[in-house]
Amino acid sequence: MVRDPLGKPHLLLGGHRGPAISFSEGGGAVWAALCWDESDIGLDVAETSEFHGDYPIRRVFNAQELQHVVRLTGGDLEKASALLWSIKEAIVKALGCGFHLVEPRDIDVRPSVKGDGEYTFPVCLSRKALERLPMGADRSMWVRALPQVKMWLSIAFLNGQRH
């Protein structure tokens, strides 16, 4: 395993960049995701207990995305916050920058499509974020979010040309 300059891990196979890999810790376990095609991948787990009390919801989430996921979670603000955070964290991991180059509100989580017990969210970056992260331009970004017991597991996929 090797890391790029910002710390994003990749496997090295025969001296060439191999599959993208991502890790997260939550619910007493370490989670890993591996992507064998040319996509970049990011994984995050967020527990609802992380969002009790005075979490700065309005500072990290956009009103429209928060409203949408609050509806999806049956009005549970902590569950909705964990869902949104796991989506945004998975995206910055897939981009390979963490929140060093992009702010959480610069990641726009669009309304989801519900699948078989999971949700798929298209994601867009703000103009400001794209100026800092040209690797996000011309790439489709989406996140698959799966509810777990008292947490959300989100896996972000970035398809298209790498810059």
Residue-range domains of the chain with CATH: 42-160 (3.90.470.20)
Residue 160 has a pLDDT of 66
User: Which of 112, 92, 113, 111 lies closest to 102 in space, CA to CA?
Assistant: 92
10-residue mean pLDDT profile of the chain (163 residues): values are 80 83 93 85 95 85 95 93 97 89 93 86 93 81 94 91 50
- Distance between CA atoms of residues 75 and 123, nearest Å: 22
- Distance between CA atoms of residues 107 and 89, nearest Å: 10
Q: Which two tokens stand for residue 82?
A: 């964990």
**β partners of residue 106:** none
pTM of the model: 0.90
Residue 82 has a pLDDT of 96
Residue 161 has a pLDDT of 54
Cβ count within 10 A of residue 33: 22
Residue 163 has a pLDDT of 44
